[in-house]
């Protein structure tokens, strides 16, 4: 059976609001909560950016059984792999089984450049991702790590061991990155709006060594009383999704994203955010993702009415998907 998560967007809501929404997602029987890990929002209008690891501890304490996950960077400036592994192990000890996975990516200038230093090339970032991910894995397994490479470590060890090492997903927005992740990651995290692109990325991941490994997609959606209303709200909050992938990684400040997306029109949102007013449209698109081999879907409502979104998914969308999995001809 597939699993379904609510996406807690730290760029758009305060940490306290997201704790409340996570508790609501648990009441509506979501399987998990997936949160972003940002230092800054995409644009000043979004206006938030809580610390993901502090928040995860609070959210896990405030809920009873729902699982959590996040996407983070093991080779950047904010987190050394040792610090990251210690954070993961601590949460796993406090809340056994409830942090079953984290995703690891090569980073975005938006979250790393403010810490100082030059923003490296994509090739260098990929090398740091592979090295940092290997260090995190070894530390969580109990190894002592010595490294003289770009990410140095001197007899590094974490003394709190997780009861079970979380699955380490590789985050990828392109086929090339997905193919590379197939060799080192336990699974793939990617985006689920464009089904043709999703198919190509999954194929690349399998070809790179990811055969048999799980696939997790984040699906950006916007619910509205009409498709046009959803389109306008998505444009106001998430037009940055229309920028090329390389800009997502290279623009260093929210004002830069605002300027770069100034020419994006509301109709441009259709290819990047799933717009819907009828829950059946979301059911059908998600089912198409599952047929491509996706095992975990994280639903992100880019609009403001998160409570209605959780209620609609918990009452209409997720139950319909679970019914279809049990009885494929039921819908």
Give bridge partners of residue 69 from the DSSP assignment.
34
- Is the pLDDT assigned to residue 212 strictly greater than 80? yes
Residues 6+ apart with CB under 8 A from 300: 7, 9, 218, 219, 220, 221
Distance CA 25, CA 33 (A): 8
Query: 């206006």: which residue's tokens?
Result: 47
Tokens of 69: 């996950």
Could you tell me the pLDDT band of residue 288, with boundaries at 50, 70 and 90? very high
Tokens of 32: 């998990």
Helix and strand totals (H; E) in the chain: 13, 11
In angstroms, how far is the first alpha carbon of the chain from the final one? 17
Least confident of 75-84, 91-100, 222-231: 75-84
Could you tell me the pLDDT band of residue 248, with boundaries at 50, 70 and 90? confident
Tokens of 260: 């770069």
Mind listing the pLDDT tens digit for each residue in 303-312?
999 999 999 9
| Whether the Cβ atoms of residue 165 and residue 140 lie closer than 8 Å to each other | yes
Distance CA 264, CA 241 (A): 10
- Whole-angstrom CA distances from 234 to 15, 22, 220, 257 are 21, 22, 9, 15
| Whether the Cβ atoms of residue 295 and residue 216 lie closer than 8 Å to each other | yes
CB atoms < 10 A from the CB of 115, how many? 11
Residues marked as catalytic: 38, 108
Give bridge partners of residue 187 from the DSSP assignment.
169
- Is the pLDDT assigned to residue 331 strictly greater than 80? no
Identify the sign of the CA torsion 237, 277, 272, 242: negative
| Whether the Cβ atoms of residue 298 and residue 7 lie closer than 8 Å to each other | yes
- Is the pLDDT assigned to residue 127 strictly greater than 70? yes
- Is the pLDDT assigned to residue 179 strictly greater than 90? yes
- Whole-angstrom CA distances from 273 to 41, 122, 312 are 18, 26, 18
Where would I find the H helices in 95-158?
Answer: 109-112, 122-140
- Is the pLDDT assigned to residue 330 strictly greater than 80? no
The pLDDT, as a whole number, for residue 306 is: 98
Distance CA 159, CA 64 (A): 26
Distance CA 204, CA 176 (A): 7
- Is the pLDDT assigned to residue 54 strictly greater than 80? yes
Distance CA 207, CA 203 (A): 6
Q: Length of the chain in residues, anyone?
A: 331
Mind listing the pLDDT tens digit for each residue in 145-178?
999 988 999 999 999 999 999 999 999 999 999 9
12 SS3 class = coil
| pLDDT-above-70 percentage for the chain | 99
User: Which secondary structure element, helix H or strand E, spans residue 21, and what is its range?
Assistant: helix 15-27
């Amino acid at each position: 059976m597939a699993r379904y998560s609510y996406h807690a967007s730290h760029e758009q809501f305060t940490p306290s609001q997201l704790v409340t929404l996570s508790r609501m997602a648990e009441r509506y029987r979501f399987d998990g909560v997936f949160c972003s890990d940002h230092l800054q929002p995409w644009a000043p209008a979004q206006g938030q950016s809580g610390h993901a690891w502090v928040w995860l501890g609070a959210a896990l304490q405030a809920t009873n059984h729902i699982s959590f996950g996040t996407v983070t960077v093991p080779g950047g400036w904010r987190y050394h792999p040792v610090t990251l592994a210690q954070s993961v192990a601590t949460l796993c000890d406090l809340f056994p089984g409830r942090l079953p996975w984290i995703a690891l990516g090569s980073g975005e200038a938006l979250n790393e450049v403010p810490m100082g230093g030059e923003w490296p090339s994509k090739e260098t970032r990929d090398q740091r991702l592979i090295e940092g991910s290997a260090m995190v894995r070894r530390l969580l397994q109990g190894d002592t790590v010595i490294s003289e490479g770009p990410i140095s470590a001197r007899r590094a060890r974490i003394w709190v061991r997780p009861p079970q090492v979380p699955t380490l997903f590789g985050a990828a927005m392109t086929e090339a990155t997905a193919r590379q992740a197939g060799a080192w990651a336990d699974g793939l995290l990617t985006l689920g709006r464009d089904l043709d692109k999703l198919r190509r990325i999954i194929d690349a991941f399998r070809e790179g060594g990811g055969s048999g490994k799980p696939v997790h997609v984040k699906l950006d959606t916007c619910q509205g009383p009409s498709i046009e209303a959803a389109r306008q709200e998505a444009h106001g909050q998430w037009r940055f999704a229309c920028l090329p992938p390389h800009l997502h990684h290279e623009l260093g400040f929210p004002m830069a994203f605002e300027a770069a997306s100034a020419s994006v029109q509301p109709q441009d949102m259709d290819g990047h955010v799933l717009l819907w007013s009828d829950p059946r449209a979301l059911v059908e698109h998600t089912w198409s993702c599952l047929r491509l081999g996706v095992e975990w879907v994280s639903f992100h409502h880019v609009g403001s009415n998160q409570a209605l979104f959780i209620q609609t998914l918990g009452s209409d969308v997720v139950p319909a998907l679970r019914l279809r999995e049990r009885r494929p001809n039921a819908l």
